[in-house]
Chain A
């Protein structure tokens, strides 16, 4: 009895908040005018369901859609797979693998963590690569971990998983910050191209002749949430082939782990040496070649 009435109150509160959010929504900008029907549809959904259909029933979701997905329409789509461990043994390094199966016209993939103090983790434009990426990130507490995939038609396809955590991933210094060794290695890149898709590949469908690039960039990736240490993180990375053609592009944010390791899959092995270019938020340049 007690439980059901408190549940009802939670639900009513959610409904009230959702209604407030709808009222508080700014008037449509000219550019968004063409999408008015979409926005209206989303608003209708919001009024009926404070979670907007979110399978995790996470209250921040609606705000996240408005803040990080431009308020555009989003559907929960099983073709977007997010894999992680059941619990974060090391909340400073939680492995996440995103892959997309059977979706055409993918523009970019945004990875969001509801209950992190900094929710946006990474944005990925696969370009010449397959729509799959793996890396590790910092998790502050148990949370849904989501990938939102925008297709050319302007629709976001969202998948996710739940990761439990003892907490503290974003508010603790990394090892190289603690011992000061980060200054010796800042911006150094190491990596390797592996032939074939691994047996347990994150690639949507193992493609014959496929290749994987694994890349490590040395950087403290400070979140700015540790006392006296301002945010300091790699914010842009791009991989180019020998002809200077851009193969993939990343925007990374504070929650990506210290000295991050990324895995990207390609339908075919890129020929020749690869160039990795990027910056951090202090303007330091990353520029390295993998032979």
Chain B
């Protein structure tokens, strides 16, 4: 018996979920340890991408659970692909032109089907800067994600060239070219023999797509869930994010999901990653609220004690600095009161 982490909010969902994810929970740790870490060759700019089958016709391509560095090729994202009988659907395209091209080659080595669709789960750079490898394929994203990518693409590219150097060679943002409209109740998306289920949630960004494949019991949950890693927050709003995490378990359960693929951190056979992200966001929200009320400056927040659990997660050293820079100003504004303008 392996217990699924139970927290307020998750409690009800977890109790309602024993079959859906707990049946798979026994090999949850196996799922994590058998992750096929890429073997990066910096000299040859070879990401060493590997496809790991999660179920027949469903593959994940795992990145390092870390921050962007030259030695890991700045490959920190989990992408994936599905064969459908009518061609391959690719979920996110990685950080660079080279990543996109190497992913395309990997898909060609793995399945005989041609690539027919690309889908982007949110607006962040490692979800679409590999699009040059899929220039001939329709590329779908929600309208909010498309608008966000158009707004931020140049800044992303500049920043990643600086952080990743040669890995970014010849990368130019190529945006998605088709709208994917997802009603509030979610939608079905049929490609060949596979019927995907799509849900547009929010909070990590303004549009966080969750893609579920019932046939394989696989969910790509994008940036809503970080496993063993500090969440990234450049476009985050905590309250809607927590609301999305409250909603997610029921959606996964209803679809019979057995494998949860976060964009960052290990693939899990349970809701561990979801509970971790929820714990972190709740701690952040409560702490920032308290510190702002006590008058702390941003530099003091940067140096405040952080629970050992979070300090042990990947990218803590860099990502927490970013969390504070992105989110703390909103909390401090809340507590300042307007002055009375006096005689002019």
The interface of chain A, by Cβ under 8 A from chain B, is 83-87, 89-90, 93, 95-97, 134, 136, 166-167, 187-192, 194, 196, 198-202, 212, 214-216, 261, 263, 275-276, 285, 287-291
Contacts and interface: CB of A to CB of B under 8 A. Distances in A.
Q: Which 6 A-B pairs have the closest CB atoms?
A: A194-B295, A288-B339, A95-B298, A89-B325, A134-B297, A200-B300
Contacts of B322: 89
A290 B297 contact: no
Contacts of B294: 194, 196, 198-199
A236 B321 CA distance: 31
A166 B336 contact: no
Given A86-B321, A93-B329, A189 B339 contact: yes
18 contacts: A85-B321, A85-B325, A93-B325, A97-B297, A166-B163, A187-B341, A190-B336, A191-B336, A192-B295, A192-B335, A198-B297, A199-B296, A200-B304, A214-B332, A214-B336, A216-B333, A261-B329, A263-B295
B341 A287 contact: yes
Interface string B273-301: 00000000000000000010011111111
B344 A96 contact: no
A191 B299 contact: no
A288 B341 contact: yes
Given A134-B298, A201-B300, A214-B332, A289 B340 contact: yes
A288 B340 CA distance: 5
A139 to B, nearest CB: 12
Interface of B: 158-159, 162-163, 291, 294-304, 318, 321-322, 325-326, 329, 332-333, 335-344
Contacts of A96: 299
B340 A216 contact: no
A34 B337 CA distance: 50
Contacts of A90: 325-326
Nearest to A85: B321
A216 to B, nearest CB: 5
A215 B336 CA distance: 8
B162 A166 contact: yes
A95 B297 contact: yes
A183 B222 CA distance: 39
Contact of B299 (A97, A192, A214, A288): A97
A114 B341 CA distance: 37
A189 B338 CA distance: 6
Contacts of A214: 295, 297, 332, 336
A200 B296 contact: yes
Contacts of A189: 338-339, 341
B341 A87 contact: no
A290 B295 contact: no
A96 B163 CA distance: 23
Contacts of B163: 166
Given A200-B296, A200-B300, A190 B338 contact: yes
Nearest to A90: B325
A97 B300 contact: yes
A103 B240 CA distance: 48
A97 B295 CA distance: 14
B343 A287 contact: yes
A128 to B, nearest CB: 18
Contacts of B341: 187-189, 287-288
A46 B158 CA distance: 39
B88 to A, nearest CB: 35
A85 B295 contact: no
A223 B304 CA distance: 32
A202 B302 CA distance: 12
A202 B299 contact: yes
A196 B339 CA distance: 21
A89 B297 contact: no
Contacts of B299: 83-85, 95-97, 134, 202
Contacts of A84: 299
Nearest to A257: B329
